[in-house]
Structure 1
Amino acid sequence: MTSVSITPKGPFSLAASRRFLEDFTPASYDHAADGVLRLAFPADDGVHVIGCAVRQKETAGSTPDAVTADITVHHGDTTLPAGSGTDHHRAARAQLARILSLDVDGTGFPALADADPVVAGLQADWPGLRPVCFHSPYEAAVWAVIGNRIRMSQAAAIKARLARDHGQAVQVAGEELHAFPAPGVLRRLDRVEGLSDTKLERLRALSEAALDGGLDAATLRDQPVESALTELQGLPGIGPFSAGLVLIRGAGHPDVFPAVEPRLHRAMATQYGLDAATAGDPARLARLATSWRPYRSWVALLLRARAQDSASR
């Protein structure tokens, strides 16, 4: 086991991240009474599996405490020797930072509130919440295919069953977790309960794409947004909405306005008091969202959280 530390730049609350995961159906995350965020997931290299026990002290003040994590890296039944200086453990730390959006400098995020009362209210209601991403663009793409045209709860059950039946089991802070199957495992499956042959064929193709580097987070984020979205839509089963999901919540891009997400657009219309013509025009909404730069993905997340909270009430 290797212990690492990540110092947030700007507001960040691990407790807010845990609460978000508990309400995020695809994560199938259970409440942890001890405040530890336990994660298990395939490494970005598509070969290793990572276990993380993540902690952060919750203290008053504007400067967040460091996030610490105990990390194990597994290759089959072998746990790699500890050492934060090894390539695999450095890569695991970087992947964890991306999952929690800690790889983004958020020091400028609070300043958005100075010019936008809606953003100010969102930040006040969800202090320290940053997007909690899928473990990888690969896993986000697989989720998009699984969830197409079925209930989210049904899709989450299929995803959890895939992890239980085909993912590697790892011990994380005294609990056994099952990572989602790595691409090399998923591409060999010839039957998955609850999935059609067409969906399974698409999952195998996505697995191949991940192994070939076609779902690399850094590559996707380094491209112009429209180029990345177009490239993603060339993958089987990935349309415009899913491409945005993979780029924003898979690769962790902090500054994308989701142009084809009606739920977000309705939330914007409600919070900003927009007329029907503006609310129904994605281009006009995108222009409104330019004031959120360079954190458009982050504000969009908070707007969804507000909409979900209002619906629950």
Structure 2
Amino acid sequence: MPAVSLTPKGPFSLAASTRFLECFTPASYDHAPDGVLRLAFPTDDGRSVIGCALRQKESAAPGAAGTVHAEYTLHTDGNARPAAGATAAEAARTQIARILSLDIDAGDFSGLAAADPVVAGLQAEFPGLRPVLFYSPYEAAAWTIIGNRIRKTQAAHIKARLAQEHGQAVDVAGRQLHAFPVPAQLRRINNIPGLTDVKTERLHALADAALDGRLDAAELRDQPAEFALTDLRELSGIGPFSAELILIRGAGHPDVFPRSEPRVHQAMAAAYGLDATAADDTSRLAAIADAWRPYRSWVALLLRAHAQDRPAAPRGIG
């Protein structure tokens, strides 16, 4: 079985990633308490499926994050096979690292705490937590279309049913998982219980866009964020909020302040002890967030996690 080793640069905890996924509604993640994170997902090129088991060893160096080992299988046309050549193996490694934000050098992330007590409080509350992403921009975009104007729990049920009924089943470290349908398969599904015909048509258009390369994670991250967001908003059914989610949580851009996510704004206003109108003043909040560079996306995620864990917490966490 192919395997890769990923050495975190800066703090990282696989256990924290697993706990996050357990509480992240779109993931519908069912954790087995054995220290293994099991994932199944379409590859970035949308033509195969990866089943992946991740483990983290303790580091011998005090304070250092242990190496993450990932064993994976590549499934094409329903058959498991080794990654074909160096290119496929590197693509798998790149995607696995991105999903856990291990492709980012976080050596300076802890340093933000010295200048900002709110960030210090968040890092102490969630030690080693980096953003755990949707498996690809394609899957993030599918989630935004499915979940538009319905409850998250309902959307998660629909997404999970699509995986179970139309996605590839894979065995990962002794458990069977179902990956979300690859774009070509999603394109062939004409009736999705719980979704309107408009949403189904938008999912078909999304599948076409993915196969055309319009949701390439590296390309989205390489261009200026405002250009990437403009390109994403050209996709059917993708508005400002969805575009930010795809770029930040799908492509894994580490340094975007989410201007269209009111829950982050509310959590931020509460954490910084701002007045009642501050949550609506995006420019004011963005100016504060400038101090988080180059990890604005990461701090925003920690704020959301803090607000979700403590909805009734007093104002201020610094």
Instruction: State the TM bucket, normalised to the shorter chain.
Output: over 0.9
Partner of 1:175: 175
What is the letter of the counterpart of residue 300 of structure 2?
A
CA distance in 2, matches of 1:281, 1:141: 27
- Residue identity in the other structure for 2:70: A
1:206-285 to structure 2, matched below 5 A, reads: 206-285=206-285
> In structure 1, what is the equivalent of residue 297 of structure 2?
297
TM-score when scaled to structure 1? Answer: 0.97
Preserved contact between residue 114 and residue 120 of structure 1 (Cα < 8 Å): yes
- Aligned sequence identity (%): 68
Which stretch shows the higher mean deviation, 98-107 or 271-280?
271-280
**Gapped regions of structure 1 (runs ≥ 5):** none
Specify the SS of the correspondent of 1:110: coil
Displacement of 1:82:
5.7
Are 1:80 and 2:56 matched, yes or no? no
Instruction: Report SS of the residue matched to 1:79.
Output: strand
Which residue in 2 is equivalent to 1:99? Answer: 99
State the Cα distance separating 1:157 from its structure 2 match: 0.2
Q: Please show how residues 140-159 of structure 1 align to structure 2 within 5 Å.
A: 140-159=140-159
Preserved CA contact (<8 Å) 1:137 1:246: yes
Letter aligned with residue 73 of structure 1: L
How many pairs align?
312
54-63 vs 275-284, which moves further: 54-63
**3-state DSSP of counterpart to 2:31:** coil
Give the conservation status (yes or no) of the 8 Å contact 1:256–1:296. Answer: yes
Query: What is the alpha-carbon distance in structure 1 between the residues aligned to residue 189 and residue 49 of structure 2?
Result: 19
Cα–Cα, structure 1 residues 41 and 312, in superposed 2: closer, same or farther, change >3 Å? Answer: farther
Amino acid at match of 2:81: L
Q: What CA deviation, in whole Å up to 9, does each residue of 1:42-83 have, x standing for no partner?
A: 001110110100000246831001000101111113222368
Q: Secondary structure at the match of 1:307?
A: helix
TM-superposition CA deviations, 1:206-249 (whole Å, max 9, x none): 00000000000001001111111111011011000000000000
Distance 2:199 2:312 in 1: 32
Relative to the length of structure 2, the TM-score reads 0.96
The yes-or-no answer on 1:166 pairing with 2:166 is yes
Kept in 2, the 8 Å contact 1:71–1:89? The answer is: no
CA contact (8 A) 2:58 2:67 kept: no
Paired residue for 2:66? 65
Structure 2 distance, partners of 1:59, 1:221, is: 31
Matched with 2:126 is 126
Shift of 1:279: 2.9
CA contact (8 A) 1:38 1:52 kept: yes
Q: Decide which moves more: 71-80 or 193-202.
A: 71-80
CA distance in 2, matches of 1:272, 1:246: 27
User: SS of the residue aligned with 1:114?
Assistant: helix
Tell me, in whole angstroms, the C-alpha distance in 1 between the residues paired with 2:218 and 2:87. Answer: 16
Cα shift readout 1:12-39 (whole Å, capped 9, x = no counterpart): 0000000000000000001211110000
Give the Cα–Cα distance (whole angstroms) in 1 for the partners of residues 176 and 77 of structure 2: 16
Distance in structure 2 (CA, Å) of the matches to 1:110 and 1:57: 21
Q: What's the offset of the Cα at 1:90? A: 1.5
Q: Is the 8 A contact 1:73 1:89 kept in 2?
A: no
Tell me how far 1:93 sits from its aligned partner.
Answer: 1.1
Contact 1:73 1:88 (8 Å CA) reproduced: no
Letter in 2 for 1:29: Y
Measure, in 1, the Cα distance between the counterparts of 2:226 and 2:261.
16
Whole-angstrom CA distance in 2 between matches of 1:90 and 1:172: 20
- SS across alignment from 2:129: coil
Structure 2 residue runs without a partner (length 5+): 314-318
The secondary structure found in structure 1 opposite 2:311 is helix
- Residue 269 of structure 2 aligns to which amino acid in structure 1? A
Taking the aligned partners of 1:308 and 1:181, their CA distance within structure 2 comes to 29
Write out per-residue CA displacement over residues 64-113 of structure 1, whole angstroms, 9 at most, x where no aligned residue.
01000101111113222368x63212211110000000000000100000
Cα deviation for residue 312 of structure 1 reads 7.3
Give the secondary structure class of the aligned counterpart of 1:185: helix
Q: For the aligned residues, what is the CA RMSD?
A: 1.3
Structure 2 SS opposite 1:276 = coil
